[in-house]
Structure 1
Amino acid sequence: MAVSRLLFHLSSALGPGSDILLDPYLSGWEELIRFMESLGPLVSLFSYKVQEKIVLLRQIQAEDAENAAYSSLHSMMEAELLRGVVSFDRHAPSGCRTLLRLHRSLRWLQLLLEKLAAGPDADGRLATPGEMCREAYREVLAPHHPWLLRRAAEAAFSAMPQRAVLLRLVCVERQEEAAPVLERLIGAIGEVHSRTHNALQDRGMLDLP
């Protein structure tokens, strides 16, 4: 993952007002997938699921290119609600439902980076990457996943690389160097996540089936 490229995409995704521009948002996700794939072969199960959702949104964008309804988060939501393609009581494919799944995964990654930036606990111990991923997963994603996927996640987090590998993925060598880089990255992810969360919440879409 190139932190500079990711920061560029995240900042470019901040549209006017509280909107999110979908092209740079998805480009940011493509950069985050490289980070996820570096966490080990078992975590690629999650990166594959994320990639599927990115491809689906890109396809929807291409099919609707003439209307440009999928240029931003707000315009997508308004268009899909008007067309009646968003279902609030059953599984039904839509751009909003797909983006909600990406939104949850973005929060998982944000929590992971926050835990990586936190440094040692009161006893001077640093959490392992597996512990950090597991805690973030149980908080954000596990409540929305079936039993088999939760089991696969537990197995994946037991085979995570060392903490030093994660630090190198964000372009630092030592824990002491990580905080300034990670705080900037966490802040950028947090702004995108907050805008998306508010837009979904305002439209009652945080629990789309």
Structure 2
Amino acid sequence: MEDLDDLKPLRNMSEALKELAATLDSPTADVELAPFSRSCFLFLPLIRSWGIAFKFAELDFLGKVKDLAVASKSIGTLQAMVDGDIEANTVRKDTSHTKNLLRLTRGLDMIRVFFEQLLATEGNSIRDPAFKAYTQVFAPHHGWAVRKVVAAGTYALPTRAQMLKKLNEDEASARAPMQSFVDASAPVIQHIERLFHSRDLFHVLNYE
């Protein structure tokens, strides 16, 4: 896997998503599992830049990425992976590949919203962009206790400047890769959501 200490994590993230989006050139196209898991692995420096308060999120995300990376050694595409879980009747299992895909996709969507908020706002705090992204994407699926922990954790987030410094960027240099990520992630998220909807999996999983 790629080196997490690479000098330009934001650019690596955006380039990986652009490559994934480029493969979705027809309604019947599918996302290959191996590059998807590699792309998700590249999100970790961003999560790590949020500090110790979100260490739990980093570890949880990493565990799910590793699961899909291992699965990619024998499974070619996201569709094949989901269909395999359906056939094996393992979709509902908390550790199923399909549930991990759902949660990673939410992570991808949260980062997309977070970047949208950062691009639309000024100031040195990232608390509001982060909390709005969490509220929109994850909060509807979390209980009160988890929402409370996350809300408290947002007060320990680094400043915008501190986060960008950890990512080897500044305000000016970060805008292009963040916008590129927003643009490229949308079709990938939409593709995965269509995959779940076509198999009525949001209902089966109770969208949790």
Query: Displacement of 1:169 after TM fit?
Result: 5.2
Q: Tell me, what secondary structure is at the counterpart of 2:45?
A: helix
Number of residue-to-residue matches in the alignment: 194
RMSD: 2.2
Please show how residues 131-146 of structure 1 align to structure 2 within 5 Å.
131-146=128-143
State the match for 1:85 in structure 2. 90
Q: Tell me, what secondary structure is at the counterpart of 1:13?
A: helix
Q: Deviations over 1:51-76 (max 9, x none)?
A: 111122233344xx2xxxx2211121
State the match for 2:18 in structure 1. 11
Alignment equivalent of 1:25, drawn from 13, 30, 36: 36
Contact 1:117-1:178 at 8 Å conserved across structures: no
**Aligned partners of 1:159 and 1:145: how far apart in 2?**
20
**Aligned partners of 1:31 and 1:127: how far apart in 2?**
24
**Aligned partners of 1:6 and 1:182: how far apart in 2?**
9
Q: Tell me, what secondary structure is at the counterpart of 2:148?
A: helix
TM-score (norm 2): 0.82
Alignment equivalent of 1:186, drawn from 165, 172, 182: 182
Contact 2:85-2:96 at 8 Å conserved across structures: yes
State the match for 2:154 in structure 1. 157
Unaligned runs of 5+ in 2: 1-7
Please show how residues 29-44 of structure 1 align to structure 2 within 5 Å.
29-44=40-55
Q: Deviations over 1:149-198 (max 9, x none)?
A: 22221121011111112344565423x55443321121122222121122
Percent of pairs with identical residues: 21
State the match for 2:105 in structure 1. 103
Query: Displacement of 1:136 after TM fit?
Result: 1.1
Distance of aligned partners of 1:108 and 1:13 in 2 relative to their CA distance in 1, 3 Å threshold: same
Contact 2:11-2:177 at 8 Å conserved across structures: no
**Aligned partners of 1:50 and 1:181: how far apart in 2?**
22
Q: Deviations over 1:67-91 (max 9, x none)?
A: xxx221112122222333223xxx4
State the match for 1:204 in structure 2. 200
Query: Displacement of 1:93 after TM fit?
Result: 3.4
Distance of aligned partners of 1:169 and 1:203 in 2 relative to their CA distance in 1, 3 Å threshold: farther
Q: Tell me, what secondary structure is at the counterpart of 2:53?
A: coil
State the match for 2:3 in structure 1. none
Contact 1:104-1:141 at 8 Å conserved across structures: yes
Contact 2:14-2:181 at 8 Å conserved across structures: yes
Query: Displacement of 1:127 after TM fit?
Result: 7.1
